[in-house]
Structure 1
Amino acid sequence: MSENLSLKSFVVLMKASKAVQERIKKDISNYGMRTSEFTILETLYHKGKQTIRQISEGVLINTGSITYVIDKLETKGLLERQHCSEDRRVVYIHITDAGKALMDEIFPQHQQVIEELFVGIDEQQKQTLVDVLKQVGQRA
């Protein structure tokens, strides 16, 4: 009987995803943060001010949970809310100087952990991985 490569690919993808998520979660916890806090700060750090909806779509956290996390980060002085002058219903979230300083310190370390996950995988293989995962994601 032939091996079902679609099923095997799925199982390997799920196991790899779980292992990567656990490694990243462990790394982020070293900075005294939860993954949701880090991903929000990282989004603002790299993309600049965003609405709650934009953040929610970018980090795959539902808007109900994201408000709670934003409240916690705001209390810590790592981000701030800013009302839009043209439309008072719109609230932008932006990283503070303290949040930027924190990310300037910890993001390079976090990026190094990610780089270590891909040691021994050449650039062409990485691009193939990106392309294949995009196709799977689009079909899902």
Structure 2
Amino acid sequence: MKDITDILKTKTNLPLAKKTVLNVSYTSNTFKDGILSVLKPYDISIEQFNVLRILRGKSGKPSNLKDIQDRMISKMSNTTRLVDKLILKNLVERFICEKNRRKVDIYITDEGLKLLNTLDPIIEQKENELTGNLSQRELETLNILLTKMRN
């Protein structure tokens, strides 16, 4: 039985749409595996990393679970569970808003910011490695095409 890389590398009778979907899915998994390999030694998942980046982007302002969920790459993520795990790791803090007790404010901690500062260059290096077979122009074209596919 051929694996997916053999199927995608050879000329097959697969319809082009199917071949494209398989290729994008396979590449997505390759990217996820690559990023996960970088995050694993830091005991953090891709989704937790995403939450930390979202909170860092708030520049010290509070966020809430709905805002974080809306900005997540994976909309299927359980944001409450992710935040709870990050709290246990002292990477984020959660406070009940004094003005509105139903509102919960979530902040990244200094420890969370330090972790992101450590991870940023390592992630950038991995991203460059994962896309290293493409020229700048090819990367620009690929981004335009992928965005077009989602719209």
Output the TM-score relative to the length of structure 1: 0.82
From 112, 120, 124, give the equivalent of 1:99.
112
The verdict on how the C-alpha distance between 1:124 and 1:47 changes in structure 2, with shifts beyond 3 A counting, is: farther
Give the gaps of 5 or more residues in structure 1.
none
Shift of the 3–134 alpha-carbon distance from structure 1 to 2, 3 Å rule, reads same
Q: Which runs of 5+ in 2 are unaligned?
A: 1-11
Q: State the match for 1:11 in structure 2.
A: 22
Give the equivalent residue in structure 2 for 1:137: 150
SS at match of 2:54: helix
Deviation per CA, 1:32-72, whole angstroms, max 9, x where unpaired?
21222222112212344422112112222447x21122112
Say what the alpha-carbon RMSD is for the aligned residues: 2.3
Letter in 2 for 1:68: R
Question: Could you say what secondary structure the match of 2:134 adopts?
Answer: coil
In the TM superposition, residue 102 of structure 1 has moved relative to its aligned partner by 1.4
The structure that is helix-richer by fraction is 1
Q: Determine if the alignment matches structure 1 residue 23 to structure 2 residue 34.
A: yes
Once the two structures are TM-superposed, the CA of residue 30 in structure 1 deviates from its matched residue by: 2.1
- How many residues were matched structurally? 137
**8 Å contact kept, 2:52–2:112:** yes
Match of 1:126 among 139, 143, 146: 139
Q: Percent identity?
A: 26
Gap change, CA 1:30 and 1:3, over 3 Å in 2: same
Q: 2:82 aligns with which of 66, 69, 72?
A: 69
Give yes or no for contact 1:36–1:61 (8 Å, CA) kept in 2: no
